[in-house]
Amino acid sequence: SQQGEEDPQALSIQEGENATMNCSYKTSINNLQWYRQNSGRGLVHLILIRSNEREKHSGRLRVTLDTSKKSSSLLITASRAADTASYFCATDAGTGANNLFFGTGTRLTVIP
């Protein structure tokens, strides 16, 4: 079973608006990552936040992490049509391998 669960499953917004996606997970983590996937292609890493961090920024991306609630959010500001993609959160399994648990993803559509 997958540890992370994203919410909402799908999100449609107008260009220029902000998009917020949420992720919940079940067990303790070392870090949480967000990835982007364009239409069935490879995943691209967006940002990593460690368990001792609460917020992190990268360009138009803002990620928050609340370990007490086992949840994270990804905010994309001033969205663009090119942001249309699926977004996945991924948590590490702490097994010593690159075993990431991915959620089912949020499908974001940005309408020009």
C-alpha count within 13 angstroms, C-beta hemisphere, residue 30 = 10
Our measurement of the distance from residue 5's CA atom to the centroid of its chain's CA atoms, rounded to an integer in Å, reads 10
- How far is CA 106 from its chain centroid? 8
Is there binding between residue 93 and another protein (CB under 8 A)? yes
Residues 24-63 that bind another protein (CB under 8 A): 30-31, 33, 35, 40-45, 48
Nearer to another protein, 56 or 102 (CB): 102
Residue 85 or 100 with smaller CB distance to another protein: 100
Binding site for another protein (CB under 8 A): 2, 4, 30-31, 33, 35, 40-45, 48, 88, 90, 92-93, 95-105
